[in-house]
Amino acid sequence: MNGERSAEHQPVTIRDARESDLQAITDIYNQAVVAGGSTADLVPRTLEQRRQWVDSHQPRDRYPVVVLEDASGRVVAFGSLSKFHPREAYDGVVELSYYVDERARHRRYGTAMVAWLLDAARTRGYRIATALIFASNAGSIALMNHFGFERYGFLPRACFDGTRYLDMSYWWLPLDND
């Protein structure tokens, strides 16, 4: 499922990730690792580790990994739908995640990516979308609220980043596929 969405009145393309996108995916993810507050990884990931992460999304037609290209064709964000839990009874629930290049933030690329991921989840017949977000990540929490997600859980002091404890918030959105 590929498509175009508008972000800040500029055409963007959201498409399936390719091998040639791995470096951009790794770079964008590692920005989040270094900055903290968006991922529980504490050490930047290698290209091979990110390749394994992309490859773990199987089958790909159910669990896509996609990139968002800006109007110039540069990859500025990526996102995915991931298995919520390995037990079969959870197959109707999917977890979404997304990361935006720090130089491309505040241009509605995150909004475009989450909209695409939610459309993809509905098209694939998922009942519920979930997201795990650090409670201090105001931008992602605002985005969840924008799309109508509700917080269903809060785990205080869930992660230690080497200097501080971070609380985790859990979000869900019914996808009205029943």
Name 14's bridge partners.
Answer: 3, 68
Distance separating alpha carbons of residues 82 and 79, to the nearest angstrom: 10
Q: Which domain CATH number covers 22?
A: 3.40.630.30
Q: How many domains does the chain have?
A: 1
| Closest CA relative to residue 133, chosen from 122, 142, 124, 121 | 142
- Specify the range with the lowest mean pLDDT, choosing from 41-45, 64-68, 84-88, 174-178: 174-178
Confidence of residue 92 (pLDDT cuts 50, 70, 90): very high
Owning domain of residue 39: 3-174
Confidence of residue 132 (pLDDT cuts 50, 70, 90): very high
Confidence (pTM): 0.91
Q: Would you say 140 and 133 are in contact if contact means Cβ atoms under 8 Å apart?
A: yes
User: Among positive and negative, which fits the CA dihedral 155, 156, 157, 161?
Assistant: positive
